Structure 1
Amino acid sequence: MSTVRPDLDQRRRQRRTRLLEVGVELLGAAENPAVNVRTVCREAGLTERYFYESFADRDTYIREVYEEVAERARTALVAAVAKAANLSEVAELAMRAFVGLVLDHPEAGRVLVLAPLREPTLGGRGVALAPNFVSLVEAQLGALDDPDERTLRAIGVVGALTSLFIGYLDGTVTVSRERLVRHCLDLLARAGNP
C-alpha cells in the first residue's frame, strides 16, 4: 500500500486547479479559442506530464473545464435562492447572481453559454444543463394553472435569456448591468402572466 505525502498530493491539486483556471481563460476567450494540450501547458507554466497526471486527454479536460464553470453557476444560483426571504425575491436574486457571473467573469460566461455551441467536445452539455434553468424559471410561473403552458413558457424564457447573454458576451448587447437584469426580470414577469 503506497502512501502519498500530503505535500505531494497538495501540489497535484494545485496543478490541477491551475490547469482548470487556464482552461476557463482559454475556452472562454473572446476570440475563437484554440485549446490544445501544448497551449494549456504553456499558459499554466507546466509540462504535459502534469497535464496527463490530472486528465486522460484533451476532450476530458474540456468537459471538466465546462463542469467547473457549470458548478460555479449552480453554486451561485443555490446561494442566491437560499438568501431569498420569499418566492418573489428568488427570481431577482437568482438573476443577479447569474448576471454577476457572466458580467464579472465574462470568460466563465463564455464557457457556460458559448462553448457548448463552438466546441464539439461539449456536444450536449449546454442542453443537459438547461433543464436546471427551466425548472428554476418554471417555479416562478406559479400563476399559470396549465403545467404544459408553464413548461412551454419556461423553455421560451430560458431560450430568450440565453440569446441575451450570447449577445452581451459577443458585444451585440451593450446595455448596463442594471438594465440587463431589469429586462431579464421583465421577460420572466411577462411569461408568468396568465
Structure 2
Amino acid sequence: MNTVRPDLDQRRRQRRTRLLEVGIELLGAAENPAVSVRAACRAAGLTERYFYESFADRDTYIREVYEEVGERARTALVAAVEQASSGTELAELAIRAFVALVLDHPEAGRVLLLAPLREPTLGGRGLALAPNFVALVQAQLGAVDDPDERALRALGLVGALTSLFIGYLDGTVTVPRERLIRHCLDLMARTGHP
C-alpha cells in the first residue's frame, strides 16, 4: 500500500503548531510556569533541531505563543460581534466568547492575562494588545457622544474586566460562571449609558 507522506512544509507547520500548543500549556501553567527550549521540545516530543526551524530562541518562542493566544481572543470576540443582531446581544456574545476562552481554556487565559505580569520576555505585550480590545469596546459605546468620554469608559471597562478575569484565574473570584457573565454584562451596560 502506497501512502502519501505530507510534504516538508506541512510537517514544519505541524511541528510549529504543536510547539505553540505546548507553549500555551507551559506558559499558562497554574503554578510556576517554566518555559525552556528543552521543556517545550520534551513536551512536544521533538528535538531542539525542530524547535529552531520555527523559532530563533526562547524569547521569540514566548512572544509568538503570547501572540497566538492574543489572536485567538481577538478572533473569538470578532466572531461573536459579527453574529449579534443588537447591542445587548453583542455584549452578551462578546462576554460569553471571552469567558469561554478564559474559563474553558484557563491555560490560554493565564497566557493572555497573567504571563505579561510574570514573564519578563513579554514586558509590555499585554499593554500592546490592550488597544485592540479597548477599540472593540469603544466601538460599542455609541450612546456616549463625547469621544474622550467614550475612550475613558472603554479603557476603564477593559481594565475592570481584566481584573475580574485575573481574579477568576488566580482563584480570588469564585462565583459561578453565569454570575460572572451577568456581572460583566452589568458593568458593560453601566459603562454604555451616558
Q: Distance in 1 between matches of 2:82 and 2:192?
A: 22
What corresponds to 1:82 in structure 2? 82
Post-superposition shift, 1:126? 0.9
Q: How many residues align?
A: 190
One-letter amino acid of the structure 1 residue matched with residue 83 of structure 2:
K
Shift of 1:134: 1.0
Structure 2: how far apart are the matches of 1:96 and 1:150? 23
User: Partner letter of residue 23 of structure 2?
Assistant: G
Q: Report sequence identity in percent.
A: 85
- Deviations for 1:134-189, whole angstroms, at most 9, x for unmatched residues? 11222222222221111111111111101001000001111111111110111111
Structure 1 residue 133: deviation in Å? 1.2
Distance 2:143 2:17 in 1: 44
Amino acid at match of 2:24: V
CA distance in 2, matches of 1:185, 1:100: 15
Matched, 1:184 2:184: yes
Aligned to 2:156: 156
Match of 2:49 in 1: 49
Aligned to 1:111: 111
Q: Could you tell me which runs of 5 or more consecutive residues in structure 2 were left unpaired when the two chains were aligned.
A: none
Q: How high is the TM-score relative to the length of structure 2?
A: 0.94
Specify the alignment match of 1:23 in structure 2. 23
CA shift, 1:18, in A, is 0.8
Offset, 1:75: 1.0
Q: What is the CA-CA distance between 1:87 and the residue it aligns to? A: 2.7
Report the 3-state secondary structure (helix = DSSP H, G, I; strand = E; otherwise coil) of the residue aligned with 2:172.
Answer: coil
Runs (5+) with no aligned partner, structure 1: none
In structure 2, what is the Cα distance between the partners aligned to 1:139 and 1:183? 21
Measured on the aligned residues, the alpha-carbon RMSD in Å equals 1.2
Equivalent-residue separation in structure 1 for 2:192 and 2:78 (angstroms): 22
**Equivalent residue of 1:49, what SS?**
helix
The one-letter amino acid paired with 1:146 is: D
Which residue of structure 1 aligns with residue 36 of structure 2? 36
Post-superposition CA distance 1:78-121 (Å, at most 9, x none): 11111111233211111110010001100000001111111111
**Farther-moved stretch of structure 1 (84-93 vs 112-121):** 84-93
Aligned partner letter, 1:43: A
Q: Partner letter of residue 163 of structure 1?
A: S
The amino acid across from 1:165 in the alignment is F
